[in-house]
């Protein structure tokens, strides 16, 4: 049976190719881009639905339900056997569990304190930092900067004196950067979905005491519970599994730039589902982000002689 090469090995092979070797391409990159787009769309739709439950159970309650649903679904589907993991395999599993839980909690807490626009802008510092750090081409650097500018314009951050909220947004950014790198390491060390499923299960267990306390104090209605569960499926379970498959096919830097499509999809979902219109400068920002992502994914033709 053919076993796909780990993402880290594919990235290293692409980086080690000589200048005269022709176009640099990672096998399965097209499928990887499609997976990333699907993951981003599911994430944004799930976040929008989950936000409807905020007034009833708060950010912590929604995050707790999200973690439980993600853990239950991924463990049921993947049926991991963690007792067979080696010490080297347990390391990225535990790291991903911590990063996954902290990323969701810090982001939603930041949104609650400083608003969605500034929180999302701060969070995107994480993947964009990965894109900048992993880049070896000037065009990738330019694409990352253009995408960053587009995210800032689209999110429209406002000045704030809430330093705790800003710190939470920066923490979410650091966690997202860690999520990218740890997921790549996990995909190289643990085959299939056993790794993310175990990480999601552990993360769900951490939120049991806090989530139960919140739900007992604020008993949710059926609608609230459905919104929170839907958020768990679309914004946690789907991205956690799909992102791992994508990171096995694309470099971490390309993933970091491509993930800036989240504000674009959020704008489209808002227009179609919530009937929210956008000003012209926001649509220009969307075009800039899409253009930066498209250019960053184009193969680069390398020639043996300067020209």
State the SS3 of the chain.
CCCCCCHHHHHHHHHHCCHHHCCCCCCCHHHHHHHHHHHHHHHHHHHHHHHCCHHHHHHHHHHHHHHHHHHHHHHHHHCCCHHHCCHHHHHHHHHHHHHHHHHHHHHHHHHHHHCHHHHHHHHCHHHHHHHHHHCCCHHHHHHHHHHHHHHHHHHCCCCCCCHHHHHHHHHHHHHHHHHHHHHHHHHHHCCCCHHHHHHHHHHHHHCHHHHHHHHHHCCCCHHHHHHHHHHHHHHHHHHHHHHHHHHCCCCHHHHHHHHHHHHHHHHHHHHHHCCCCCCHHHHHHHHHHHHHHHHHHCCCCCCCCCC
pLDDT interval class at 303 (50, 70, 90): very low
What pLDDT is recorded for position 307? 38
Give yes or no for residue 156 having a pLDDT over 80: no
Percent with pLDDT over 90 in the chain:
7
Give yes or no for residue 259 having a pLDDT over 50: yes
Domain ranges of the chain: 29-297
Give yes or no for residue 8 having a pLDDT over 80: no
pLDDT digits (tens, 9 = 90+) for 197-253: 888 889 889 999 989 999 999 888 899 989 888 988 888 778 867 877 887 777 766
Average pLDDT in the 14-29 region?
41
The rounded distance, in Å, linking the Cα atoms of 43 and 63 is: 13
Give yes or no for residue 78 having a pLDDT over 50: yes
pLDDT digits (tens, 9 = 90+) for 116-146: 667 777 787 787 777 777 777 788 778 778 8
Find how far residue 275's CA is from the centre of its chain: 25
Structure tokens at 39: 């993951």
Taking the complete model, does pTM exceed 0.75, yes or no?
A: no
The rounded distance, in Å, linking the Cα atoms of 108 and 225 is: 17
What pLDDT is recorded for position 297? 62
State which of 58-62, 236-240, 271-275 shows the largest mean pLDDT.
58-62
């Amino acid at each position: 049976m053919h076993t796909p090469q780990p993402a880290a090995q594919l990235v290293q092979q692409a980086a080690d190719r000589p200048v005269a070797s022709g176009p640099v391409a990672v096998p399965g990159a097209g499928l990887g881009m499609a997976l990333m787009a699907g993951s981003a769309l599911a994430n944004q739709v799930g976040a929008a639905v989950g936000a409807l439950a905020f007034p009833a159970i708060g950010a912590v309650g929604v995050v707790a339900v999200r973690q439980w649903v993600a853990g239950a679904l991924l463990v049921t589907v993947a049926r991991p056997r963690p007792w067979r993991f080696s010490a080297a395999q347990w390391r990225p599993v535990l790291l991903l569990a911590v990063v996954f839980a902290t990323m969701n909690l810090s982001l939603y807490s930041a949104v609650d304190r400083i608003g969605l626009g500034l929180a999302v802008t701060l969070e995107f510092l994480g993947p964009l930092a990965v894109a900048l750090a992993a880049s070896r081409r000037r065009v990738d650097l330019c694409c990352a900067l253009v995408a960053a500018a587009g995210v800032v314009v689209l999110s429209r951050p406002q000045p704030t004196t809430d330093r705790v909220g800003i710190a939470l947004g920066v923490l979410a950014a650091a966690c997202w950067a860690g999520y990218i790198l740890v997921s790549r390491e996990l995909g190289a060390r643990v085959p299939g979905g056993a790794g993310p499923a175990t990480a999601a299960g552990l993360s769900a267990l951490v939120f049991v005491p806090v989530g139960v306390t919140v739900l007992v104090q604020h008993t949710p209605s059926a609608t609230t519970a459905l919104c929170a569960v839907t958020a768990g499926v679309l914004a946690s379970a789907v991205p956690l599994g799909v992102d791992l498959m994508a990171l096995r096919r694309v470099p971490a830097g390309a993933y970091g730039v491509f993930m800036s499509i989240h504000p674009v999809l959020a704008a489209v979902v808002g227009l179609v589902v919530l009937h929210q219109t956008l000003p012209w400068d926001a649509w220009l920002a969307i075009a800039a982000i899409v253009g930066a992502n498209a250019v960053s994914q184009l193969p680069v033709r390398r020639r043996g002689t300067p020209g």
